[in-house]
Each structure stands twice: as C-alpha cells, then as structure tokens.
C-alpha cells in the first residue's frame, strides 16, 4: 500500500525536481559560455528539499493512517487481516484472559521503531534470530506480539 502511494506521489514530484535541476544546469551552462568560466551548481537547494519534505510528509501521513490507526483500533491492517494475524498487547501478568488491542501509544511506538529498524538490515531479520518468541525490535519496544487470528 505504501509503495503505491510512494510511486503515485514520488513520480510527479521527481519529474518536477528533474525539470527544476535541468533548468538550473541549462542556466549554469549558458552563464559559463558567456563568461568563459566554470560555474558551480548546487543540486540540492530549497526547491529540491521542499519537494523531498512533501514526499516524506505524504509517506508519514499515509503510514500513520494505514498502519498506526488500524493497528491501535483492531490490531490489524488490511494485509494482516488477509494473512489472518493480529497485533496484541503483551500482558504484564499471566492472569490476562483475552489479548488486548495495542492502543494508539503502542501502535505508534511499534511503527516508529519498525521504520528506524528498516534502515538497518539486522533490524529486518532480527525475528529470525529471536528464539522462541520471534519478535522484532518494534514488537519488543511496544510490548506487543503478533498472533494468529
């Protein structure tokens, strides 16, 4: 889901940045020919950073809307529902009868830590080495667990 949004927002923004940079390079090339001197061009400027910030904002908003809110409310996103799994809060006591929904705080922590651990390859494969629970860093940080529904 997030990849579709990233492409839908990223392609037009990327084309806009490409056109902006091409204009800058053409202007620098023309100035260089006229002055017969080399012209330095900064490729990263306010326009490029602004469009990158817009894309990042869109991805954050959609990520929160798609992942955090449904997980907090039901423990499931659309994909988790299809896979018949659910995120539940880990009970502090063994007396808890039914697993509880994670809530907004745990869902937000889970999402933020997962985004950060994605930057590190070891964060993606950590559940393979976590015996016997097979919980990722995001589940440990948020005190959640994924269960079959």
pLDDT at 147 (0 to 100): 92
Q: If you ran DSSP here, which 8-state letter would residue 66 be given?
A: I
Domain borders along the chain are 2-148
Please tell me the pTM assigned to this model. 0.74
Q: Which residue numbers in the chain have pLDDT < 50?
A: none
84-94 tens-digit pLDDT: 999 999 876 55
Look at residue 148 and give its three-state secondary structure.
Answer: strand
């Amino acid at each position: 889901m997030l990849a579709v949004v990233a492409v839908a927002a990223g392609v037009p923004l990327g084309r806009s940045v490409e056109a902006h940079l091409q204009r800058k390079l053409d202007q620098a090339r023309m100035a260089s020919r006229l002055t017969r001197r080399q012209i330095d061009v900064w490729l990263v400027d306010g326009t490029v950073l602004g469009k990158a910030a817009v894309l990042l904002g869109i991805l954050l908003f959609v990520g929160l809307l798609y992942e955090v809110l449904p997980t907090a409310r039901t423990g499931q996103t659309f994909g988790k529902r299809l896979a018949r799994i659910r995120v539940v809060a880990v009970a502090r006591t063994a007396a808890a009868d039914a697993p509880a929904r994670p809530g907004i705080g745990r869902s937000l922590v889970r999402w933020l830590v997962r985004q950060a651990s994605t930057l590190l390859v070891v964060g993606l494969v950590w559940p393979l080495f976590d015996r016997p629970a097979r919980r990722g860093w995001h589940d440990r940080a948020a005190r959640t667990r994924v269960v079959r529904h």
